C-alpha cells in the first residue's frame, strides 16, 4: 500500500492545543490517546460552554417565565436547530434529544415495536452490530413474538450485503444497522442497504455513533428513517444524544417515557401528549449536554467535516500500513472501507495484557470485545486490541503505538 501524504492545509498541531487533556502525562509518559471510538476528548470551547451554563445561566427550560428560564429555553432550542442543520434534517420536529445512542435505539425499539411489530414479524440486524443495536431488538422480538434475522459478516469484516435481498420479506418490519463498525472500523454501504430495504417498503434505523465524528452526515440524502448518535463521540459531553426520525414515524409512535413536558393536558380521565419532538422528551432535560453538543458541532463545522475526513483517511492508511508491516502483529479484518478504528493482535500476548503494558508506556487503547461480541467472535477471537483515531490524532501517535507494540512483544518474549 502506498502511504498517503497528510493534507497540507490541515494543521493538526494547532488543533491539538484546543484539547487540554492531550497535554497531560500518564505514568510519567506523554499521553497518546487512541481510545477515541469509546469517547473523544473535548475541546476547551465545549468545556467552557458547559461550565458557563452551570455557573451563570442554570435554570429549568420550557417551564418558567423568569429570565433565566426563558434564556435557557432559547439556548436549548437553538442547540436543537444547530443539530438539525448538522445532520441535514428537514425539521426541528425530527430531532429528539436523548441520553445517547443507546437510549435513542431503545426508544425506537420500544415505541416503534409497540406500534408496528407483532407475532410472526421479523427484524433484521447485521452481524457487526454494537450490543446497543442488537440487544434492544432481541428484547423486542421476545416481547412481541417476532423473529430476529441476521445479515452475515464476510471473512474480511464487510457485510454480506448481497444476502440482504433474501432476508427481506413480507413480514420484515425494520432493518437496524450500524453505519460504521466500532470494533473493526468497517464503513458499511448504508446507501445500498437503505435503498434495498425501501424497495420493499421497510424502514431502516442507522446507528450513526461511529460515523458522525468521521464523515459528513446528511440524513435526508441517506433517506434513513431513524438515525441515532451520541454527543460524546463528536467532541461533546457524555450523557447526551440525538435521535433523528422522519416525522411520519414519530407521529405514529406512542411515547416511550411519560412525565413532565411530554404532555399537553393531564387529568385522571386521561392524558393528551405534547407536539413533536417533546412527546418523546419526558422529564427535566440535559440542557448542559445540549449546549455542549451544539458547541462541539460548531467547533467541528469550523474545521470542516470534509477536512476532518481527509485527515483521518490519510492517517488510517498510514496506521494500517505501519501496523500491518510490524512483526508479530495480526490485523483483524480487512474491510474495503475503514474509518476511525483498527483492531489487531500481538502474537502470543493476550489483548488485556498488551493493553496494560501499553498503558504504562502512555498509550491508551481499548482491549476486549468492544461491545460487539458476535462480530469479534465471527472474526475468530474473544478479544482484540483496538486503536481508534480522532481529528487531533497524528502520525506521531501511530509511530508511538508501533514502537510500543515492539516493546510489548519484547516484554512478553
Question: Could you tell me where the beta strands, DSSP code E, fall in 324-392?
Answer: 329-332, 341-346, 363-364, 366-368, 384-388
- The residue with cell 445517547 is 100
| Given 282, 371, 375, 390, the catalytic residue | 371
CA–CA distance, 357 with 351 (Å, rounded to integer): 10
C-alpha 41 chain-centroid distance: 14
Nearest one of 40, 43, 86, 46 to 390, comparing CA atoms: 40
CA–CA distance, 254 with 115 (Å, rounded to integer): 7
**Residue 128 CB coordination number (10 Å):** 30
Q: What ranges in 202-304 are assigned the alpha helix state H? A: 219-222, 247-252, 287-303
**Residue 371 annotated among the catalytic residues of the structure:** yes
What is the enclosing helix (H) or strand (E) of 149?
strand 147-151
C-alpha 139 chain-centroid distance: 21
Contact 199, 175 (CB under 8 A): no
- The residue with cell 450513526 is 208
Q: Grid coordinates standing for 206?
A: 442507522
Contact 18, 44 (CB under 8 A): yes
Cβ neighbourhood burial of 203 (10 Å; 0-12, 13-18, 19+): buried
Per DSSP bridges, beta strands 329-332 and 270-273 are unpaired
**Catalytic site positions:** 371
Amino acid at each position: 500500500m502506498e502511504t498517503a501524504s497528510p493534507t497540507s492545509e490541515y494543521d493538526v498541531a494547532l488543533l491539538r492545543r484546543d484539547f487540554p487533556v492531550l497535554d497531560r502525562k500518564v505514568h510519567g509518559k506523554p499521553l497518546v490517546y487512541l481510545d477515541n471510538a469509546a469517547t473523544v476528548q473535548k475541546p476547551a470551547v465545549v468545556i467552557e460552554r458547559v461550565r458557563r451554563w452551570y455557573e451563570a445561566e442554570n435554570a429549568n427550560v420550557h417551564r418558567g417565565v423568569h429570565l433565566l428560564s426563558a434564556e435557557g429555553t432559547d439556548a436549548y432550542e437553538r442547540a436543537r436547530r444547530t443539530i438539525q442543520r448538522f445532520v441535514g434534517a428537514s425539521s426541528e420536529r425530527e430531532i429528539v434529544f436523548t441520553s445517547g445512542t443507546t437510549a435513542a435505539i431503545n426508544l425506537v425499539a420500544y415505541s416503534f415495536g409497540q406500534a408496528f411489530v407483532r407475532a410472526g414479524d421479523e427484524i433484521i440486524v447485521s452481524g457487526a452490530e454494537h450490543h446497543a443495536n442488537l440487544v434492544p431488538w432481541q428484547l423486542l422480538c421476545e416481547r412481541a413474538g417476532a423473529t430476529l434475522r441476521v445479515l452475515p459478516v464476510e471473512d474480511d469484516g464487510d457485510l454480506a450485503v448481497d444476502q440482504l435481498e433474501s432476508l427481506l420479506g413480507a413480514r420484515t418490519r425494520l432493518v437496524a444497522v450500524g453505519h460504521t463498525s466500532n470494533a473493526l472500523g468497517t464503513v458499511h454501504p448504508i446507501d445500498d442497504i437503505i435503498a434495498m430495504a425501501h424497495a420493499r417498503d421497510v424502514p431502516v434505523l442507522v446507528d450513526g455513533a461511529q460515523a458522525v465524528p468521521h464523515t459528513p452526515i446528511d440524513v435526508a440524502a441517506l433517506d434513513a428513517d431513524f438515525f441515532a448518535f451520541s454527543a460524546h463521540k463528536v467532541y461533546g459531553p457524555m450523557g447526551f444524544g440525538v435521535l433523528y426520525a422522519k416525522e411520519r414515524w414519530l407521529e405514529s409512535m406512542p411515547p416511550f417515557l411519560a412525565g413532565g413536558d411530554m404532555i399537553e393536558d393531564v387529568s385522571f380521565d386521561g392524558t393528551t401528549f405534547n407536539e413533536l419532538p417533546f412527546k418523546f422528551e419526558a422529564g427535566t432535560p440535559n440542557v448542559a449536554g445540549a449546549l455542549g453538543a451544539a458547541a462541539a458541532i460548531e467547533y467541528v463545522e469550523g474545521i470542516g467535516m470534509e477536512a476532518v475526513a481527509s485527515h483521518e483517511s490519510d492517517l488510517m492508511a498510514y496506521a494500517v500500513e505501519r501496523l500491518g508491516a510490524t512483526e508479530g502483529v495480526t490485523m483483524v479484518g480487512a474491510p474495503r472501507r475503514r474509518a476511525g478504528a483498527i483492531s489487531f493482535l500481538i502474537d502470543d500476548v493476550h489483548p488485556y495484557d498488551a493493553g496494560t503494558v501499553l498503558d504504562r508506556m502512555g498509550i491508551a487503547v481499548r482491549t476486549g470485545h468492544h461491545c460487539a461480541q458476535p462480530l469479534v467472535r465471527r472474526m475468530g477471537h474473544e478479544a482484540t486490541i483496538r486503536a481508534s483515531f480522532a481529528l487531533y490524532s497524528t502520525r506521531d501517535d501511530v509511530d508511538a503505538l508501533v514502537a510500543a507494540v515492539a516493546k510489548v512483544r519484547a516484554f512478553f518474549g
